[in-house]
Amino acid sequence: MNVLPSSAAQKPGLYLWGAALFSLILIALVAAPTFAPRAFSFLEPLKVDTDPENMLSADEPVRVFHNDMKKEFNLHDLIVVGVVNEKNEDGVFNTETLGDVYELTKFAETIRWTDGASEDAAKKGVIAVDIIAPSTVDSIEQAGLGSVSFDWLMPAPPETREEALAVREKAERIPTLNDTLVSGDGKALAIYVPITAKDVSFRVANQLREKIATFDGDAEYHITGLPIAQDQFGVEMFKQMAISAPLAMALIFALMWWFFRRLNLIISPMIVAMVSVIGAMGLLVVTGNTVHIMSSMIPIFVMPIAVLDAVHILSDFYDRYPSIRDRRKTLDHVMKELWQPMLFTTLTTCTGFLSLAFTPIPPVQVFGVFVAIGVFFAWFFTITLIPAYIMVMPEKAFAGFGMGAGDKETDHEATPLARFLHGVGDFAVGRSKLIVAGFLLALVVAGYGVTQIRINDNPVKWFHADHEIRVADRALNDRFGGTYMAYLALTADEGDALSSIADDVEKRLTALGTPQAEALAASARAARGTAESPDAFLSALREKAETELDAAEADEDWYAWDDAVLALDAASQSQEIFKQPETLRYIEKLQAHLETTGLVGKSNALPDIVKTVHRDLFLGDEEAYRIPDTPEAVAQTLITYQNSHRPQDLFKLVTPDFKKSVLWLQLKSGDNVDMSAVIADVDKYIADNPPPAAISHDWFGLTYINVAWQQKMVSGMARAFAGSFIMVLVLMTILFRSPSWGLLSMAPLTVTIGVIYGVIGLIGKDYDMPVAVLSSLSLGLAIDYAIHFNARTRHLYEQIGDWPQTAKKAFGEPARAIFRNVIVIGVGFLPLLLAPLVPYQTVGIFISAILFLAGVATLLGLPALITIFKPILFRKRRTQHAV
Amino acid sequence: MLSKTLKLAAAVTALSISTAFAQDVQEIVDKASAAAYYQGEDGRAKVHMSIKDSQERERTRDFVILRKDIGDVDNGEQRFYVFFERPADVNKTAFLVWKQPHADDDRWLYLPALDLVKRIAPSDERTSFVGSHFFYEDVSGRNPDEDNHVLEEETDDYYVVRSTPKDASDVEFSSYKNWIHKASFIPVKTEYYDENGEAYRTYTALGVETIDGHPTVVKSSMADERIGGVTEMTYSEVAYDTGLPEDIFTERYLRNPPRRELR
């Protein structure tokens, strides 16, 4: 026996107490700062991170741009309160519902607080001034006698049915509100509540819910929006860790009991799994990492791997004990046989997961590293705690233990399981060509399946279809333009601004035709060659003209200089690209085009505001719903718009310098494929229809961020997988000191992974985040069985020297260990199907499928391949030492 | 019996004191309104407006403001004419306001690029003035009769008056406080409070000069914490009693600005 297991067998108490102490210390290190953050501020508390943005590192350009744009356009994360009334014939536009909506909005405006006693602390909560609700937005409308009125859409709760219906009518006239604030069918309206940061959403939403609970109207309220989904996600994540994972544990436990029939013995793999999970998760928290959608899956990944080796030991021990009848000697035998396969399965599994550290997604890196740490713990505790545990059990507990223990004389190979596996072995050896052909065919079909894979994800769909988040999502997407926001930023390129401004200045001054303008034009001609920047050029001219203006005595002189200064100002304003009618018309066409894609329910952009105000300046005439013809007319329309309660809203669509503008797209679906289709469509549209001025376009918003991280994830995973495949192949070659055995060991996992991903492609399951991560798990698990089978086959062959006889032995205890593993862990993970979040279900199904496939590929494929290639594989047996 | 008489006397005294006090406050706010908006019979100024948002991004507006008090009555009827010069694309845009102390103001807007004179329906005057942090009402003046006033404090230099709206549904504030300079009656600071009693909007007179014998605010600012940022108005070429003709404050002059008066 090796040093560690034998030391553990000698001093079992030391190892068992050591493991207990290790767990307790880690638990204490996590619990202390989590429950008493002040007293233990020097320690890292448990931090939950449910923000999908964190799939990208903080300095990722896509994310930096996203945050810059959010800041520049003053956009905040939103809680959306959807109000639906199906019962009232006027929908939500009845006095009661609107009264409640008014009250709820007033209430929402007051939700803000400061943390702690400090007066200077920044206010947290709702950004009242940016709430979008009927009582907080302006309506522009005709007010008789040709006058135009700017007033609140719903200044007070309506008192009559007519007043209530008028709110709907007014809102529907305003394109930026229609299908955003009110639904086309009048059954629903949405209140958009901006919050200071995502982490306040839980508290804000709870206060809103409490307020809503006091209403007794017949409207339904859906509180949703990305921050809410994230909070819910955090809650479900803990449910998963607290319920699904232990349930999986319990089922594994029950299955082991069914196989080994010794309750006190099978507690040991459970202890190994617990200590390994506590070790990995404890270290994760203690080192300041967050519990994220990825890292919350660590226990689920570590658990089967931890149990796996323990099942090998127990299975072997169970089979050997009846013939050896001494636990120490049995242990010696078992550990000698399993030492190397277990070491190498651990190394390969760690390699598979560590390769994730090279993906560009921080949470995936953390996940990979800590699963690898967990796997290492699992190995260490398996080879120490299991022997230690066996040694502390009283010898009499083993009486009557083990396979075929009831009848000493009977070969313990006579149980139904043993007979079945021998049958499998005979079949694999006898029909080797058929089996290999079958696997090759499966690989071909899988290869086709892989080409059919659709890469797609949608964090909202991580919830079940009947989860309140999904219900709200559907209720609102059915009625509004769409609840998934994507933002298209348009930025005017800085061209050769100086020469175009200089040309423009000269043209405008010459057009004035006054001697004063001519004099200034002459200065402009002289300055254009030497000016450092357009700004310097203009301000030098302006200074000159203003000096003349101040000095002017005669009115005529003063007017002439005034006109010249004006011309300079006008020239500088020609750089304000998003005031130019042709630019606005271009955006208008792009918006119209987007709505033909069927993916974009609605878009809001600067042209909508210009057109609406223009229409209402001209008596609400629909013909006037257009972009006016000059930049001055646009500017005057916009200054009119700004005479409102919310002048700042303009700068959510354009920057004050009119050099950047943003289109708000409301998408019906948050699927990455749909967002990607919109991106491709916009690229094509802009390529086919060049904008009137040099404009570059970029995306931001969470729907886009999801696409960005998914792209990184897919390519990163592919690289990580290729890398770890090669690493494992090298490790196998070293382990078996033979390239051909190394290659042979890769066969089951190649088939497993190929078929798994082929099936994903064939059944149309989206390749999403959990599916991507599973490739590393398949690699880690499928290679394990191959290592165990090959190592022990070679071990047997060394003694027997004849393949058919070796195969018979291999389909004894080694095959049974693999089979038990497949059943225990494969079935053990089915409780994940009950998990509240879809990614965990995916993981549950696929772990089971991976184990089953890997088992089949190992037990059928390997003996078949060995049968076919035995001349190559056993060529050097005489000169080689056993592994 | 005696004690009853005393009590009555005390009550009467208290009543008369509080009435006297109330009159005092009314007088203070009336004088303050007159000092801020009714100096001289008419007035003109060039205004440079700098609007800085929460990200310190600046926009500017330059305009000329002309004012005439009808019949030179303090806190009475007034006419305003606001003529925009810069930025160039709003050049010649103009506002005309006929301020009626006890009725809604009449307002017109002229947009030269659309060749449009538009009457603005009487509604809320607490909306942004051309996208700045100032409201219309801050530019033309809020009638003191719209609020109830209480003299909260009297310092060596200032009367501190708390004003509460008579009709709370018309306004976004729940009260405001004015620091009125005792000697000049110029309000040098105004703070607006929300329903929680927190100040969210602040007007400050940053510079006061005496021009033609009238104490005049030549620089002022308005900050709004809800949206962030601040607007500063700088007044130059201020003149009083220049004899502005009343007829330039008519719709006709919106399209044909009185260039001489605006120079």
Give me A78's structure tokens.
Answer: 């939103």
pLDDT tens track, chain B, 263 positions: 445 555 555 555 544 444 445 458 899 999 999 999 999 899 999 999 999 999 999 999 999 999 999 887 888 899 999 999 989 999 999 999 999 888 888 889 999 999 999 888 777 788 999 999 999 999 988 989 999 999 999 999 999 999 999 988 888 899 999 999 999 999 999 999 998 888 999 999 999 999 999 999 999 999 999 899 999 999 999 999 998 888 889 988 888 887 777 77
pLDDT, tens digit, for every residue of A783-794? 888 998 998 898
State the helix-helix crossing angle for A3-10 and A362-392, rounded to 10 degrees: 50
B233/chain A closest Cα distance in angstroms: 17
Q: Confirm or reject contact between B56 and chain A (CB < 8 A).
A: no
Average pLDDT for residues A326-337, to the nearest whole number?
A: 86
Measure CB to CB from residue A644 to each of B88, B89, B128 and give the nearest one: B128
Q: What is the pLDDT of residue A55?
A: 83
First to last CA, chain A: 15
What pLDDT score was predicted for residue A882?
Answer: 43
**Cβ partners under 8 Å of residue A485, min gap 6:** A664, A665, A666, A667, A701, A702, A703
State the average pLDDT over residues A606-619.
93
Mean pLDDT confidence for A306-315: 84
Residue A408: exposed, middle, or buried by beta-carbon count in 10 A (0-12, 13-18, 19+)?
exposed
**Hey, which residues 534-593 in chain A have their CB within 8 Å of chain B?**
555, 558-559, 566-567, 569-570, 572-573, 579
B137-156 residues touching A, CB cutoff 8 A: none
Phi-psi region of A51 (alpha: psi -120 to 50; beta: other; left: phi over 0): beta
A314 and A330 Cβ atoms separated by less than 8 Å? no
Of B59, B89, B130, the CB nearest to A632: B89
Please report residues of A whose CB lies closer than 8 A to that of B195: 110
* ω into B87 cis (within 30 of 0): yes
Q: Per the CB < 8 Å rule, is B226 touching A155?
A: no
Backbone angles phi, psi at A371, to 5 degrees: -65, -40
- Whether residue A624 lies within 8 A of chain B, CB to CB, comes out as no
pLDDT at A408 over 50: no
> DSSP string of B146-196?
GEEEEEEEE-SSEEEEEEEESSGGG-S-SEEEEEEETTT--EEEEEEE-TT
What is the rounded distance in angstroms from the CA atom of residue B132 to the CA atom of residue B61? 9
How close A627 comes to chain B (CA, Å)?
Answer: 11
A contacts of B136 (beta carbons < 8 Å): 643
pLDDT by residue (tens digit) across A809-868? 889 888 988 898 888 878 877 877 877 788 888 888 888 888 899 999 999 999 999 999
Suggest the residue from A610, A640, A646, A657 to mutate for an interface test with chain B (most B CBs closer than 10 A). Answer: A640
Whole-angstrom CA distances from A755 to A17, B77, B157 are: 44, 87, 87
Query: Three-class SS string for A551-597?
Result: HCCCHHHHHHHHHHHHHHHHHHHCCCHHHCHHHHHHHHHHHHHHHHC
* pLDDT score for A36: 80
Residue A118 has what pLDDT?
A: 57
DSSP string covering A819-858, please?
A: HHHHHHHHHHTGGGGG-SBHHHHHHHHHHHHHHHHHHHII
Tell me whether A635 touches chain B (CB under 8 Å): yes
CA separation for the pair A178, A242 (Å, rounded) = 44
Residue B16: predicted pLDDT: 45
Closest chain B CA to residue A126: B226
Q: How many domains does chain B have?
A: 1
Q: What is the pLDDT of residues A152-181, one digit of tens each?
A: 899 999 999 999 999 999 999 999 999 899
d(CA A289, CA A372): 15
Residue A331, burial from CB neighbour count under 10 angstroms (0-12, 13-18, 19+): buried
Give the burial class of A495: count Cβ atoms within 10 A of its Cβ; 0-12 exposed, 13-18 middle, 19 or more buried. exposed
Please give the pLDDT value at position A883.
43
Q: What is the pLDDT of residue A407?
A: 44
Amino acid (one-letter) located at A270: M
Residue A409 has pLDDT above 80, yes or no: no
Tokens 């030098």 locate to A540
The predicted model gives A7-31 an average pLDDT of 88
Flag if A148 and B119 touch (Cβ within 8 Å). Answer: yes
Residue A409 structure tokens = 């004389």
List all residues 6 or more positions away from A555 whose beta carbon is below 8 Å from its beta carbon. Answer: B260, B263
A619 neighbors A146 (Cβ within 8 angstroms): yes
Helices (H), A689-768: 702-736, 739-763
- Rounded to the nearest integer, the mean pLDDT of chain A is 87
Strand stretches in A199-292, DSSP E = 220-224
Based on its alpha-carbon atoms, the radius of gyration of chain B, rounded to whole angstroms, reads 20
How far apart, in whole angstroms, are the C-alpha atoms of residue B223 and residue B199? 11
What are the tens digits of pLDDT across the range A851-875? Answer: 899 999 999 999 999 999 988 888 7
A639 CB within 8 Å of a chain B CB: yes
Alpha helices in B45-162 (DSSP H): 136-140
> Distance of alpha carbon A762 from its chain centroid, rounded?
24
- Segment A71-114, tens digit of pLDDT: 999 999 889 999 999 999 999 999 999 999 999 999 999 998 88
- Give which of A147, A152, A563, A638 to mutate to test B binding, by max B Cβ within 10 Å: A147
The boundaries of the domain holding residue B253 are: 2-262
**A70, A71, A145, A636, best to mutate vs chain B, most B CBs in 10 Å:** A636
Q: What is the DSSP string of A637-664?
A: HHHHHTSSS-GGGGGGTB-TTSSEEEEE
**Chain A environment of B237 (Cβ under 8 Å):** none
What's the pLDDT band for A406 if we cut at 50, 70, 90? very low
| Residues A784 and A352: beta-carbon distance below 8 Å | no
Residues A8-26, mean pLDDT to the nearest whole number:
88
Flag if A636 and B93 touch (Cβ within 8 Å): yes
User: Does residue A121 belong to the interface with chain B, where contact is any CB pair within 8 Å?
Assistant: no
Three-state secondary structure call for residue A227: helix
Give the residue from chain B lying closest to A572, CA to CA: B88
**Of A579, A640, A650, Cβ closest to residue B111:** A640
What are the tens digits of pLDDT across the range A721-744? 888 889 899 989 998 888 999 999
Question: What is the C-alpha to C-alpha distance for residues B65 and B47, in angstroms, rounded to an integer?
Answer: 7
Topology adopted by domain A3-25+231-400+415-461+708-873: Multidrug efflux transporter AcrB transmembrane fold (1.20.1640)
> B166 and chain A: CB distance < 8 Å anywhere?
no
Q: Which residue has the higher pLDDT, A191 or A464?
A: A191
B183: domain CATH number is: 2.50.20.10
Residue A158 contacts residue A95 (beta carbons within 8 Å): yes
Locate the chain B residue with the closest alpha carbon to A128.
Answer: B226
Residue type, A491: T
Q: Please compute, for residue B197, the number of CA atoms within 13 A of its CA located in the half-sphere on the CB side.
A: 1
Contact A633 B86 (CB under 8 A): no
Distance from CA of B110 to the nearest CA of A (A): 9
pLDDT of residue A404: 57
Give the separation between CA A607 and CA A625, rounded to whole angstroms: 10
Minimal CA separation from B10 to chain A, in Å: 44
Q: What is the pLDDT of residue A127?
A: 92
Residue A497 identity (one-letter amino acid)? A
pLDDT band at A419 (very low <50, low <70, confident <90, very high): confident
Percentage of residues of chain A with pLDDT beyond 90: 37
Q: What is the pLDDT of residues A633-682, one digit of tens each?
A: 999 999 999 988 999 999 999 999 999 999 999 998 889 999 999 999 99
- pTM to 2 decimals? 0.87
Q: Which tokens sit at B235?
A: 């007044």
Contact pairs from chain A to chain B, CB under 8 Å: 124
Per mean pLDDT, which of A35-44, A300-309, A580-589 is the most reliable?
A: A580-589
Find which of B83, B89, B107, B173 to mutate to test the A interface (most A CBs within 10 Å of its CB).
B89
Rounded CA separation A683/A444 (Å) = 36
Instruction: Kindly determine whether residue A150 and residue B127, on different chains, have CB atoms separated by under 8 Å.
Output: yes
Please return the burial class of B26, using the count of CB atoms within 10 Å of its CB with bins 0-12, 13-18 and 19+: middle
Is B255 in the A-facing interface, judged by CB distances under 8 Å?
no
Residue A17: is its pLDDT beyond 80?
yes
Chain A residue whose CA is closest to B128: A643
pLDDT(A589) > 90: yes
Number of H-type helices and E-type strands within chain A:
30, 11
Residues A429-487 have pLDDT tens digits of 889 999 999 999 999 999 999 999 998 888 888 888 888 888 888 888 888 888 888 99
Give B64's contacts in chain A (Cβ within 8 Å). Answer: none
- Place A549 in a pLDDT band, splitting at 50, 70 and 90: confident
Best mean pLDDT range from A298-302, A387-391, B187-191:
B187-191
| pLDDT of amino acid A879 | 47
The three-class DSSP label of residue A192 is strand
CA dihedral defined by A365, A367, A373, A374, rounded to 10 degrees?
Answer: -170
The Cα A28–Cα A189 span in angstroms is: 49
Domain regions of chain A by residue span: 3-25+231-400+415-461+708-873, 77-224, 497-573, 577-693
Q: How far is the alpha carbon of B90 from chain A, nearest alpha carbon, in Å?
A: 6
How much is the pLDDT for A121? 66
Best of B53, B60, B61, B127 to mutate (most A CBs within 10 Å, chain A): B127
The tens digit of pLDDT for each residue in A628-638 reads: 999 999 999 99
pLDDT for A111-158, tens place per residue?
988 876 555 667 889 999 999 999 999 988 887 666 788 888 999 999
Give me the pLDDT at residue B20, please: 44
Q: Is A158 on the interface with B (CB under 8 A)?
A: no
